[in-house]
Structures are given as structure tokens and as C-alpha cells.
Structure 1
Amino acid sequence: METVKIGVQNVILRKWQKGDEDSLVRHADNMAVAKFLKDSFPKPYTYSDAVQWIRFANRSIDSYNLAITLNDKVIGAIGVEKQQDVYRKSAELGYWLGEEYWNKGIMTNVVKEMVELAFQNFSIVRLYAYVFSGNKASSVVLEKAGFELESIQKSAIYKNGQFMDQMVYTIVRV
């Protein structure tokens, strides 16, 4: 897959490229973006982090990591990671979008497209995403993209000195 045009505002999903580092850092180095992401998401997000991410994203075998671009500048990221062992028919979806692009309908359309790509490219029947409590926008995105709330895991997350619930959203195709 080289590029996929999304039905909004010239947004394109594509593989990561050398040259994406500056716009990646510009949008990823934001505490509002990192707030609802795993601690493995660097903060601050440096140029070196961007170089490492692009190298990793394009090497992964059991994952599909794409840049979300607008006018060929990175404004976010989305990925699907196929699971292993007894979970081999499931994959985890993760994503983020630069703050200035929030509430514009972009991510819902991106997630819908990525769901189709995941089911086409991986031998899976279940796609899931974790949402930290308090991240209402992400819950809305997933619900609009056809995901259902499967469970709420109480105090499953410890971030920034506080416990949060984790919501599990799923979409299943058998």
C-alpha cells in the first residue's frame, strides 16, 4: 500500500518517509497529544525520536503503521499491531492526531479506512482499541467508526500519578 486518500480535506494515509521528521515532531511534541497515550510515547518528542519511529514503523512485520498527512505534511499517526499466540486473530489499533486538527472529522474517517485495511491485510476477526477514561473524543471516534464498548477495566492505567479506567472498544468480523 503506497497511499490511501481519505474523504476529507486532502488527508492521505501513507508509509512513513525520510523527511517526515520535522512535521512529526511539530505535532507529536505536545502534552495534550501525549496525555492519553501510553508512557512509551516520548515526551518531549524529539527529532531523534522521530528518526527512530520512522525506521521502526517501516520495518515492522506484524504491524501496519501509517502517517496521517495533509498536503504531504504529517499531522498524526495510526497503526494496527497483529497479536500473537491465542490472540493471533486479533489486532490492536492505536492512533493520535495533532491538536490543531482535532474536532474536524478527520480521525473518524481515518479510523474507518484503517479498519478496512486491517481486515484486508491481516488474517484477523477482531480489532480493538484502548481508550483512557477522560478521552471522550476518542470514544466518539471509535463509536462513529463502528466500534462497540466491550468492557471497562477499572483503574487499569496509572499515568501522571493517577489511576484511570481503560475502556476496550472492539469491532468484530467473522
Structure 2
Amino acid sequence: MFFHKVDNEISLKLAELEDAEELFQLTDGSRDHLRKWLPWLDFTKTVEDTRAFIQSSRNNFSRNKSLTTIILYRGDIVGTAGFNEMDLTNHSVKIGYWLGEDFQGKGIMTRVVEALTNYAWKELNMNRVEIRVAHGNKKSASIPKRLGFKEEGRIRSAEWLYDHYVDHIIFGLLAHEWGNGQVNR
């Protein structure tokens, strides 16, 4: 079981099947908001779909392929975040995240991404942390910028969002950049 305390308000934990109902309700309640940037909403229509996602996430975690956690804010599930991809050979991870609409603007995700980045360096001995953000998603892009990630490029038509493609902006940070005072945290 993975559990990581971020601060007095926020913790990350590997989702369990018992979390499916609460996570689905959060997803369903934020569906219109999330649909603008996330391609999987049409595949998450029931609690069973969320259970299948949790089971898949747990399987990938056990195989060291990814780490998807639920974000607990004051004890309630408010979103997910984690390493969508873990490349242990090349010491690199890709962070992905989403937050329920009612929980934005509280600094939750910035604290979560900072904690995940620290975890990547200190616990997993990673060299590189990457975040990909859909072009135009200013709220999501502000997080890596705030934490000192460098904008490294753009992948054109990287993702299909229901009826159109979106480009991805790539943000990266190397371990030596995080630890030598270059990052404005």
C-alpha cells in the first residue's frame, strides 16, 4: 500500500476498490469541467468503470509501470495525481493530475506536484520529471511553471479530445536543477 503525507491537509494514497464510489462521484460531478482537457470522461460512466480504472492502476503499480494516487484533502477525495509513466531504466517519470472543480484555487495541486517531484528524486532516484499539458490549459501549465520546470517543447496533435486534436506542451525538470537553488519553490 502506498501512502504519502504531503502536509497537514493533503495526503496521497494508492486507490482501493472501496474508493470507487467517492472517486466516481467526484468525476461525475466535475464531468463538464474535466471534459475540456481530459480524454477519458466518456469511458467513465459508472462506478464499475472507476473500479476497473482502480484495478488497472493497482496492477500497473505492482509492475513498476506507474503510480496513480488519489488526492485526499482534509480526508475527502478531491482528484488524482501520480506518475503516469515510470521509466526505471532511464530514471524518468511523467506526472499527470486532475482536480475536482470545487477544489481548484486552493494550492492543492501545486503542493501535490511538488511532493511527487520530491518523491521522484529522494525515494525513486529519478533524474528527470516531466509534465505534459494540453496547449491552452493555463491552470494546469501554471503548476510546473510555478515549481521551476522548464518548457522544453511542443508535440503537435498529441492527443485526441473527443472531436479535435490538442498539442502538448512539455515541461521538464532534472534532479540537479531541483536541488541547487534554481527552482523558485
Q: TM-score, normalised by structure 1?
A: 0.85
Tell me the alpha carbon deviations over residues 74-123 of structure 1, each in whole angstroms, 9 at most, x when there is no partner. Answer: 111111121376xx322111111111001111100010001111223334
Contact kept? 2:6, 2:111, Cα under 8 Å: yes
* Structure 1 pair 49–126 and aligned structure 2 pair: CA distance change class (3 A): same
Q: State which of 72, 76, 81 in structure 2 corresponds to 1:78.
A: 81
1:44 Cα offset (Å): 4.1
What is the match of residue 183 of structure 2? none
What is the match of residue 58 of structure 1? 58
Task: Say which SS state the counterpart of residue 94 (structure 1) adopts.
Answer: strand
1:43 Cα offset (Å): 4.2
1:21 Cα offset (Å): 1.3
Counterpart residue identity of residue 47, structure 1: V
More moved, 67-76 vs 102-111: 67-76
- Structure 1 runs of 4+ with >6 Å offset: none
What is the match of residue 138 of structure 2? 136
1:3 Cα offset (Å): 2.9
Counterpart residue identity of residue 66, structure 1: T
Tell me the alpha carbon deviations over residues 116-153 of structure 1, each in whole angstroms, 9 at most, x when there is no partner. Answer: 11223334211111100121001101111221111022
More moved, 160-169 vs 135-144: 160-169
What is the match of residue 150 of structure 1? 152
Tell me the alpha carbon deviations over residues 17-73 of structure 1, each in whole angstroms, 9 at most, x when there is no partner. Answer: 232112201122213113212x34554442012211222222322222211012332
Measured in 2, the distance between the counterparts of 1:120 and 1:163 equals 36
What is the match of residue 35 of structure 1? 36
Contact kept? 2:159, 2:168, Cα under 8 Å: yes
Counterpart residue identity of residue 48, structure 1: E
Contact kept? 2:67, 2:82, Cα under 8 Å: yes
CA-atom RMSD, angstroms?
2.2
Measured in 1, the distance between the counterparts of 2:41 and 2:141 equals 20
**More helix as a share of residues:** 2
* Structure 1 pair 145–134 and aligned structure 2 pair: CA distance change class (3 A): same
What is the match of residue 3 of structure 1? 3
Task: Say which SS state the counterpart of residue 18 (structure 2) adopts.
Answer: coil
Counterpart residue identity of residue 94, structure 2: E
What is the match of residue 107 of structure 1? 109
* Structure 1 pair 101–149 and aligned structure 2 pair: CA distance change class (3 A): same
1:171 Cα offset (Å): 1.0
Contact kept? 2:24, 2:46, Cα under 8 Å: yes
User: What are the ranges of 5 or more consecutive residues in structure 2 without an aligned counterpart?
Assistant: 177-185
Contact kept? 1:23, 1:75, Cα under 8 Å: no
Contact kept? 2:144, 2:171, Cα under 8 Å: yes
User: What are the ranges of 5 or more consecutive residues in structure 1 without an aligned counterpart?
Assistant: none
Contact kept? 2:43, 2:49, Cα under 8 Å: no
Q: TM-score, normalised by structure 2?
A: 0.81
Counterpart residue identity of residue 127, structure 1: V
